[in-house]
A and B are shown apart, each in its own frame.
Chain A
Amino acid sequence: MNDKVITEPKGSTPARRAGGGRLLDWLSQYAAFSAVLLTLAVAAIVAPAFFSPGNIRTVLIQTAILGIVVLGQTVALIGRGLDMSVAAVMTFAAVFVIQSAGSGNWGLLLVQLVLLVAAVGLANGLLVTWRGVPPFVATFALLIVVDGARLAYTRGQSAGSAPQWLKEIGSGSLLGVPIPVLIWLVLLGVFLVALNKTTWGRWLYAVGSNRESARHIGVPVSTVVISTFLITAASAVVAGVLLSGYLGYVDNTLGSNYNLNSMAAAIIGGVAFTGGRGGVIGASMGALLLAILMNLLVVMGLDIFWQQIVQGAVLVIAVVIQGLRARRAEGS
């Protein structure tokens, strides 16, 4: 069964490029960046309040938190997977955080967070590699399990305040730069090096491009795939902790938009949903774009439902651009 999926990747041949479709090529490479510029231009006209220093800071922090989830999601997508459980992991991590605010037991918190990453990452990874479950089904099932576990654990009352030290990390600054942004930039650097300069990075691109060939040249395919799900879970935990610190509180819906947004950001940033192509720089541009768009809708005073519509539309547009481009490359 797996063979079929591998031998028919529907336009995931990264090497071949048809002569036509320059516009599409350009679009899919710079879509996020150009859209950021365009959105900023629109903002300058319709909502100058967007450019107030306080608001810029908000946008940057929101970009950073989404950006951290996107780093993980990008790794999963490059390995031809995806992770639908990040939202649930974020919220569960935040629940552990608010409980520790009451108890002050930071050692326990660390153990809880590490166990959360290990349990969810391994469960996703093993379902996908060992059982051959499609990633979206495996991670969606884990989304239900983790959300259910959180509801059972908290009896539906995932509410409370973040501890003081975390609030300071979430909304404080170092040398004038918000701390979440610093953390994001450091992680971005780490991912950049890991993807481009390490053996693991080469393995990941190989696994995403063609699992069978990767196996033939000696790449430990299963291990690499499992590592991607551990990374998405870890990035979700970091983002969830930061988000609870930034907001100062936690509720049942804390992470709910991050599944869709992290995928939309990565894909509009040029990460191929067919695996093996794209990188964290483009994906981070995508995160910036989404954070700006969401914030702009708020600044413009539009109803909350517009956020949902725009998020969905961005994902649809991103996938369509990539789909068309893949078709061109295939020459069909």
Chain B
Amino acid sequence: MREGDKVPQPIRVLIAKPGLDGHDRGALVVAQGLRDEGMEVIYTGLRQTPEQIVATAIQEDVACIGLSSLSGAHLALFPEVVRLLREQHADDILVIGGGVVPQEDIALLKEAGVAEVFTPGSTIQRMAEYIRTHIRLTGVNDWPIVATATQRVDHIGVAVKSIAQALPFYTGVLGLRAIHEEEIPDQGVRAVFVPVGDVDIELLEPTRADSPIAKFIDTHGPGVHHIAYAVDDVAAALKAAAAAGCRLIDEKPRPGGQGKLIGFVHPKSTYGALTEFCQRTDTATDVEGGESNGR
């Protein structure tokens, strides 16, 4: 494992039986199954009130609550858990449910904030997969907040074979204007920036066959290449991402286009989107200002 990677913490899940229902075969089987899927599972036991469940979830700092009821009380009890979580500002906890729940009730439960309902016949594998892919969407407590909070999208990088061929689409069809062109020799790339509101589209054309952009085009074809977020401090942002288990391409900030400081995070750890942090520096403003004046 590379330095900077962190052993991922197991996802913590609370399996809970709200109400008076005593059928716990499903709850116990799911609890055991999620443990075998590598999660840390706490089971409340029978006859829990929504208040008790929410208190346990917060105390145990879980990422997900799985509610089980086979007695038909789900419409009264599941939404109450969601409501109490909101009341306690803990609604970043993913709430899912299971049991004897008719289809039309599933819609009502989802409206009330229950993310998904797993009815009889659901597999543990599917539940585990759902939990893994959804807890981060609702935000997870153990995901550290980047110290220098992301402010906005700075630019979107688009890989093209030829800037000369691609640019007329942006200028002619979209009616935009290119403002800045530069070559970054160590990256083997030429870049043109096309502003749209306060976001730039960065057209990237490879200048040699072994450059990262050339390889990208070989593998994926031309198209969206990366998203760059404006941050106050690239170094801090990279550090925070690494601490959260992200794989970095740049361990330290390096100079990018328009004199900005930049750093890339590997798409493997960002769910497929190559992610750049970029920071405008005083020098950058000067350089940009200088160029603008020169035009």
The answer to whether A binds B is no
Q: Which residues of B are interface residues toward A (Cβ below 8 A)?
A: none
